[in-house]
Structure 1
Amino acid sequence: MPSEGRTFIEEARRSQIIECAVDVLATEGYARASMARIAQRAGISTGVISYHFGGKQQLLEAVVSEVAKTATDLMMPRILAQTTATGMLRAYFESNLDFMRLHRKPLLALVEVVTYNRGEDDRAPGPYAEQHETSINDVIKLLDRGKSTGEFRDFDSRSMAIAIRGAVDAVPARLLHDPALDLDALAGEFVTLFTLATRRQP
């Protein structure tokens, strides 16, 4: 259903603009992703973008939200289907890297935003900052579950979550330099590494 009282037509137009923004960011880079260039790709005026989003910063925030939603929709069913925290951690890595394989263009767009956008000024958080913190907190919940069930040893959950996210967040930059990177093998190594790092010793 349309959100915030928007009509289906308005939702469709917003989706089209976001899709075109993703396309420009991924194929031409952040520097060329102007409102005019995105509007040209969508076959509309910049005024239409301003009507739906207010400005470029709000559009970039919508792009980040849409990419995050796509990743979440792919990952969560696979993670929640697991019956153990160890299985959830494995599914977390595997589904994350599957998203990167299946949705390369949105991933590249997100990398452009994260790399080059810093909000309204250099001191302000960029549009990905809130989503990144949400990702950290989601991993903390998974780790705390494993500790509560006795699967995981005692450790600082936030520190471990930052390490896990750091491993995952390093992959997109590597993919830019090596598009043929074996994501299945990488996911397997992540699973092995962090299973050993988190498991309770007998």
Structure 2
Amino acid sequence: MPSESPTFIEQARRAQIIECAIQVLATQGYAHTTMARIAKQAGISTGVISYHFGGKDQLIQAVVAEVARLATDMMVPRILAQATASEGLRAYIESNLEFMRLHRQPLLALVEIITHATREEGDPGPYAAQAEAAITDLEKVLDWGRRTGEFRDFDKRSMAVAIRGAIDAVPARLITDPDFDLDVLAREFVTTFTLATRRDQP
């Protein structure tokens, strides 16, 4: 197994394997994503994948973490650059949909994992931790607006679930309608959740 501090070459190899796993998941589907197919895509042996990840389950976890990293790297700077919570919420929604536009293969790979990854009874699945993190990160934006008085008093968890639910419904639409207009959708989402969260002025 690799050391706790992988070398640059090991990091590059891991990144290559994850990228190839994403490509196979997105094009072949979860059921057909095998270590052999990923190895062929990467031009390496299955033993190299086992060396770096141990097995398919660990590799799938690494794919989930990589997609989450791509999304976070895009979204967080945009949200933090905003002067108000209302603009932060707008940036949150818009950057989510922008990620879906720019990173279609990682998005499709993640959908395959969420939809088809099998798990033992009591196992929350490979995406559970990231799904919870997405909710809690959104709750921080909602907290921001409530502290500044921009947002009305509402149940934070319920509002976060509602916003995430709307966003998380988009990938299924993109699979059946790849040309679906995300710009229009982003405007509608921003309008809907701005109205839903804002404090009515006296």
TM range (shorter): over 0.9
CA offset digits 1:44-83 (Å, max 9, x no partner): 1111111100110000000000011001111111111101
Q: Any idea what the Cα deviations from partners look like across 1:60-118, whole Å, max 9, x if unmatched? A: 00000001100111111111110100000000111110000001011000100010114
Residue 142 of structure 2 corresponds to 143
Structure 1 residues 66-145: aligned runs within 5 Å:
66-119=66-119, 121-145=120-144
Question: What amino acid sits opposite 1:99 in the alignment?
Answer: F
In the alignment, the residues of structure 2 paired with residue 186 and residue 101 of structure 1 have an alpha-carbon distance, to the nearest angstrom, of: 12
Q: Deviations over 1:144-173 (max 9, x none)?
A: 110010000000000000001000100001
**Does 2:172 correspond to 1:165?**
no
RMSD: 1.1
TM-score normalised by the chain length of structure 1: 0.96
Residue 13 of structure 1 is matched in structure 2 by 13
1:192 and 2:191 correspond: yes
Within 5 Å, give how 1:34-73 maps onto structure 2.
Answer: 34-73=34-73
Contact 1:118–1:125 (CA<8 Å) still a contact in 2? Answer: no
Equivalents in 1 of 2:72, 2:97: separation in Å? Answer: 12
Aligned length: 199
CA distance in 2, matches of 1:87, 1:106: 27
Distance apart, 1:126 and its partner CA:
1.2
Partner of 2:153, secondary structure, is: coil
- Structure 1, gaps ≥5 residues long: none
**TM-score, normalization: structure 2?**
0.96
| Whole-angstrom distance in 1 between the partners of 2:185 and 2:161 | 18
Judged with a 3 Å threshold, the aligned counterparts in structure 2 of structure 1 residues 122 and 27 are, in CA distance, closer, same or farther, namely: farther
CA spacing shift, 1:176–1:122, aligned 2, 3 Å: farther
Identity of paired residues, percent?
A: 70
- What secondary structure does 1:22 align onto? helix
Aligned-partner Cα distance in 2 for 1:101–1:123: 34
Q: CA deviation at 1:4?
A: 3.7
CA distance in 2, matches of 1:123, 1:23: 29
- Conserved? CA contact 1:118–1:127, under 8 Å: no
**1:110 alignment partner, SS class:** helix
Equivalent position amino acid for 1:90 in 2: R
Query: Residues of 1 paired with 2:81 and 2:140: CA distance?
Result: 16
Q: Distance in 1 between the 2:41 and 2:145 partners?
A: 47
Q: Could you tell which deviates more after superposition, 123-132 or 5-14?
A: 123-132
Report if the CA contact (8 A) 1:118-1:124 is conserved.
Answer: no
Which structure 2 segments of 5+ residues have no match?
Answer: none
Aligned-residue offset at 1:122: 4.6
Q: Is the 8 A contact 1:22 1:106 kept in 2?
A: yes
Alignment-derived partner of residue 30 in structure 1 = 30
